[in-house]
Amino acid sequence: MICKLGFEVRESRDINSIVSQNGEVCWKAITDCVVYTQSAQALDYQESVRLLGPVCEVIHLHLSSLTEGQFEIQYVPWLQWTSSPELFAEIFDALESLQSPAVSLSLMKLTACLERALGDVFLLIGKECPFLLRDLLASEELAQVFGLPVMNVLRVFIGCPCGLNLRNILWHGFAAPHEIPPMYCSMMVVLTAGMGQLLKNYLQQSELSWAPRPLITLPELEGGAVFPEVTQEVLSVLEEVMKKSTFILRTMLPYWEVALIKFKSHRFADCAMLLLMQLETGLRHLFATINKCPQRLLTAESTALYTTFDEILAKHLNDGEINQLPLFLGEPAMEFLWDFLNHQQGPRVRDHLSHGEINLPEFPKGITDQLLAFSTVLLLRFVEEELASVFKEKAAIQSLVHLAEGYSARFHPMSLLRKQVLSCEESIRAWTLLPLLREAEEARLEGSSEINACNSLIIKITYELYHHIPENHCVFTDLDSLPIEKWPRPLRELCGIRVPTLFCPRDVLEVLTVLQNIVRCCTHVSHQVVASWVRRRQQWVEKTLRSRQRQNFVRMSCSIKLLSPVLLLILLLIALELVNIPVVHGKNTDEYQQYLKVERKECLHINFAVCCRDLAVC
């Protein structure tokens, strides 16, 4: 449909009947080309593409005849509604360059940008913007602003698998560079400008104000990064491996080459887009081969479910059989892909990019570094063994392979809970740095028997916990002679025990949510204690506390010695739950509900307001 159908009708169209000299779009000349079925209940996509072909062709010739200055005067003012008008100057340059990969990349960025802008228009009237583009284009809200005929034109180009489906075909890596006619990119530019004109008229008539959502800036990965910055040595190896790796389809090689050019020119978002698109292409081919389902290699056909990352990275195939790809790739590679694509607390790079949510110039280099490093290691698995050995002799590549083989999830809820526990423990450890008042020290010495009794009880409980530690993990040794300030050590060792996270069952995720809430409470208390203590001590020094407040402050200073080991014990219990959490999935329904009830009760019963009543000096 994309390569041929739009060229079947050979008809000369007058550009002046479609676009005026000042860039205003005559929508009737375009909407008249949209054909409906006999019942008029649906679009005839194929016939619409045929009739729209000559319109696209004359628009492409028109844009090609403009200088950059003329383009800016005639069209850029109408593109301001997209919040990224500078993007269209780049697209104009790409169309002039006649380089196929640049045109494909331009269409990817344009459709993402347009989707975001259409969502902003939807929110002028509606409340919750649809997640899927096809649902957004079919919404009554957009039809109310732009008119149904205009929305039907858009659906022919980007909104439905039955049409050209340009957005999905490109973002999911189905189309080789030469398979996308540049005239469709030109057409999308003019359609976007025309919609900007319609929006302006609607805003004037409705007296609504235009307030697009701000673009997001992805943070740097910090602790989420596993690979070092990509060096020139790694890039040189990748350039060679790309030519030899069977993971890359030969028709797709130009995308990889442009990805490296974009990285070297610091266009990190562009590089990431192309890498993600091509990783999906290669993994889909591998998925179909390993699972022996060659029919899943179909391009985005309107009559078949096409294979995307959702199916490729799933545990099961649609027929319920086990997906063999995760077994082939291995857990570390799967964890990386899930981290960067799927986990809600991860960067979810593809989602954010493809929906136009990201400020592209500020895209983090660190994320592109991770994708390039992962791609290098993955491609090496698909070159001849002798050649792969030569590349792996290089120290930089050796290091990447080692890091990739040891990769564990960074953004899975279980991994984040570990970080949360350790962060809370570090916060509680800071209590020991709070200097005690002389009066509090005297009171503490008087109440040392109470503190010792508390410590003794916690040691007994901890010994009981010892029996629940998995074999081969001895983290509790000689606790009765271990100073209290070193109690966090077993906690850190427990958090270091690796637990499988891939394809985590739903019931386990529910338990993790409850545990996260408990740790969140502990962390809140810790921060409140420190903040309250610092504030009250300053008032103590300045002698602005009333008598009762002074007594409460002394009591608070003493209570810290009791509260800190209790909080550490709670964290220890959570760390132990993490180590044993796989057994949750083995429980029957009644056992699981009872287990979850106990966990939730524990969360509710840790009523820190009561604990803090003596600590907060009001």
Q: Which amino acid is at 455?
A: N
Residue 43, beta-bridge partner list: 36
Which pair of tokens denotes residue 375?
């791609």
**What is the rounded distance in angstroms from the CA atom of residue 602 to the CA atom of residue 162?**
53
CA 234, 239, 242, 243 torsion: positive or negative?
Answer: negative
Closest C-alpha among 172, 167, 171 to residue 154: 167
- Does the pLDDT of residue 451 top 90, yes or no? no
Least-confidence region, from 53-67, 184-198, 301-315: 301-315
**What is the rounded distance in angstroms from the CA atom of residue 270 to the CA atom of residue 274?**
6
**What is the rounded distance in angstroms from the CA atom of residue 169 to the CA atom of residue 134?**
14
pLDDT value at residue 370: 97
Cβ(350)–Cβ(321) under 8 Å?
Answer: no
358 phi/psi in degrees, rounded to 5: -105, 140
pLDDT band at 525 (very low <50, low <70, confident <90, very high): confident
**What is the rounded distance in angstroms from the CA atom of residue 198 to the CA atom of residue 575?**
58
Least-confidence region, from 245-254, 418-427, 556-565: 556-565
pLDDT value at residue 236: 96
pLDDT value at residue 68: 94
pLDDT value at residue 609: 43
Q: Which amino acid is at 257?
A: E
Question: Which region, left, alpha or beta, applies to residue 551 given φ > 0 means left and ψ of -120 to 50 means alpha?
Answer: alpha
pLDDT in tens, 537-588: 888 888 888 888 888 877 777 777 778 888 888 898 888 888 888 777 666 6
pLDDT value at residue 599: 58
b/e per residue 221-242 (b: at least 16 CB within 10 A): beebbbbeebeeebeebbeebb
Closest C-alpha among 321, 337, 354, 318 to residue 166: 354
- The CA angle 152-73-150, to the nearest 5 degrees, is 5
pLDDT in tens, 275-321: 999 999 999 999 999 999 887 665 555 444 568 899 999 999 988 99
Mean pLDDT of the chain: 87
pLDDT value at residue 168: 94
pLDDT value at residue 47: 95
pLDDT value at residue 476: 54
pLDDT value at residue 475: 55
The residue with greater pLDDT, 40 or 139, is 139
3-state secondary structure of 382: coil
3-state secondary structure of 244: helix
**What is the rounded distance in angstroms from the CA atom of residue 514 to the CA atom of residue 596?**
8
pLDDT in tens, 9-28: 888 899 999 999 889 999 99
Mean pLDDT of 585-596: 63
Closest C-alpha among 77, 79, 83 to residue 195: 79
The residue with greater pLDDT, 592 or 63, is 63
pLDDT value at residue 612: 47
pLDDT value at residue 388: 93
Least-confidence region, from 153-157, 333-337, 483-487, 557-561: 483-487
434 phi/psi in degrees, rounded to 5: -75, 120
pLDDT in tens, 95-107: 999 899 999 999 9
Share of the chain above pLDDT 90, in %: 61
Residue 255: is it exposed, middle or buried by C-beta count within 10 angstroms (0-12/13-18/19+)?
buried
Q: Which amino acid is at 476?
A: F
Mean pLDDT of 236-240: 96
- Does the pLDDT of residue 606 top 80, yes or no? no
- The CA angle 19-22-23, to the nearest 5 degrees, is 40
Write down the residue that tokens 């969140």 correspond to.
520
Cβ(54)–Cβ(11) under 8 Å?
Answer: yes
Torsion of CA 513, 514, 515, 519, to 10 degrees: 100
Mean pLDDT of 46-60: 95
